[in-house]
């Protein structure tokens, strides 16, 4: 299940100009640190984590975070964004294996 890497985002659909919006995100991910050993074979389990999270607002990065192996599984990220123009919020999670999981939603500013 955790292999599906399903993003969850809680962000407002509408906002007034200049409003500071709280945005909450969570993605299911095992965040394998690369330091654990396989119990049966004794071999190291290769590292696989989300190493970067980004939030883009109309194409411009308004929030980003670099993550390292000590971040726990299913990372939760909450931050604030100031509403400007109507447009699109895009959320990107960059996996070590090169995959990018994304979620986008419209924001109406009036």
Partner 1 sequence: MTFKTIAIALAVGSLAGGAALVASYGSSAADKSGIPYRDGEYETVEAPEGSPLSELISGYYFRTPETRELQDDDFMNPAFIWMEQGAELWSTVEGEAGESCASCHEDVEASMKGVGASYPKYHEASGKLINLEQRINLCRTESMQAEPWKWESDELLGMTAYVRHQSKGMPVNVSIEGPAAPFFEKGKDFYYQRRGQLDMACATCHEVNYGMYIRADLLSQGQSNGFPTYRLKWQKLGSLHRRFRGCNRQVRAVPYANGSDEYVNLELYLAWRGQGLPVETPAVRQ
Q: Binders of partner 1: how many residues, by CB under 8 A?
A: 15
User: Judged by CB under 8 A, does residue 72 bind partner 1?
Assistant: yes
Give me the least distance between CB of 83 and partner 1, in Å please. 20
Q: Does 73 bind partner 1 (CB under 8 A)?
A: yes
One character per residue 19-38, x = contact with partner 1 (rule: CB under 8 A): -----x-x-x-xx-------
Q: Give the largest CA-CA distance in the chain.
A: 59
Cα atoms in the 13 Å half-sphere on the side-chain side of 97: 11
Alpha-helical regions (H) of the chain: none
Q: Are strands 50-57 and 7-10 parallel, antiparallel or unpaired?
A: unpaired
106 lines the binding site for partner 1 (CB under 8 A): no
Count Cβ atoms within 10 A of the Cβ of residue 31 and give its class: 0-12 exposed, 13-18 middle, 19 or more buried.
buried
55, 93 Cβ separation under 8 angstroms? no
Residue 8 or 61 having the CB closest to partner 1: 8
Which positions lie near partner 1, rule CB under 8 A?
1-2, 6, 8, 10, 24, 26, 28, 30-31, 72-74, 76, 78
């Amino acid at each position: 299940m955790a292999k599906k890497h399903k993003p969850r985002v809680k962000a407002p659909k509408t906002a007034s100009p200049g409003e500071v919006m709280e945005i909450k995100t969570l993605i299911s991910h095992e965040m394998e640190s690369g330091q654990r050993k396989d119990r049966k074979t004794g071999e190291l389990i290769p590292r696989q984590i989300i190493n970067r999270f980004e939030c883009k607002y109309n194409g411009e990065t308004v929030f980003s975070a670099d993550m390292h192996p000590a971040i726990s599984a299913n990372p939760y990220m909450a931050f604030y964004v100031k509403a400007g123009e109507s447009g699109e919020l895009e959320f990107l999670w960059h996996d070590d294996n090169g995959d990018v999981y994304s979620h986008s939603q419209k924001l109406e500013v009036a």
